[in-house]
Amino acid sequence: MKENSFPYNYRLKALGILIMLAGVFSFFQQYIRKDVFDANELAVGLSWGLVFFFFSKEKRDDEMIHILKFKALTRAVIISFAITHLYNYLMLNWRLEREKDIILSISAYQFLALTLLIATGIFYYMKHQASLIEEK
């Protein structure tokens, strides 16, 4: 029995893109209607869409692709955690008046969206580099 690390079919990448577009549309609708800049709402759509996009199989789904995705994800978690920690440390430790200055910490959806955006970027960069090496 062949074990597959990525449970979603390649075609579900399109569903991921549709969910991300719906999240962006919803974000702008909220901004236009209520004049509210809700980054968490944007992050919800992006994170759900990126879960389907990143964890779907590739057209060429071999061991090298699995290794590249795993490397990209491990690097992205560390980078996202560092960015999140730095943001929270800098923004939440300033001497702000809590009644006037509303600074929120990064939510789990925002962290997941940031992680998967970075992982997707790193994966496609490493995949491109690997294809250049294969062409030689």
| Strand-pair partners of 8 | 56
Residue in this structure with the two tokens 């491109």, named with its chain if needed: 128
Average pLDDT over residues 118-127: 96
127: number of Cβ within 10 Å:
17
pLDDT at 45: 92
Average pLDDT over residues 110-123: 96
Instruction: Confirm whether 4 is domain-assigned.
Output: no
Residue in this structure with the two tokens 């960069």, named with its chain if needed: 125
Instruction: Confirm whether 127 is domain-assigned.
Output: yes
Q: What is the DSSP string of 51-65?
A: HHHHTBPPSS-SHHH
Instruction: Confirm whether 20 is domain-assigned.
Output: yes
Chain mean pLDDT for the chain: 86
Instruction: Confirm whether 59 is domain-assigned.
Output: yes
Residue 101, Ramachandran bin (φ over 0: left; ψ between -120 and 50: alpha; else beta): beta
Residues 6+ apart with CB under 8 A from 18: 49
Instruction: Confirm whether 2 is domain-assigned.
Output: no
Instruction: Confirm whether 90 is domain-assigned.
Output: yes
Tell me how many domains the chain contains.
1
Instruction: Confirm whether 1 is domain-assigned.
Output: no
pTM, full prediction:
0.84
Instruction: Confirm whether 28 is domain-assigned.
Output: yes
Calculate what percentage of the chain has a pLDDT beyond 70.
88
Domain range for 61 is: 12-135
Among the listed residues 110, 128, 124, the one whose alpha carbon sits nearest the alpha carbon of residue 73: 124
Query: Confidence class of residue 1 from pLDDT cuts 50, 70 and 90?
Result: very low
pLDDT tens digits, residue range 81-107? 999 999 888 877 766 555 565 667 788
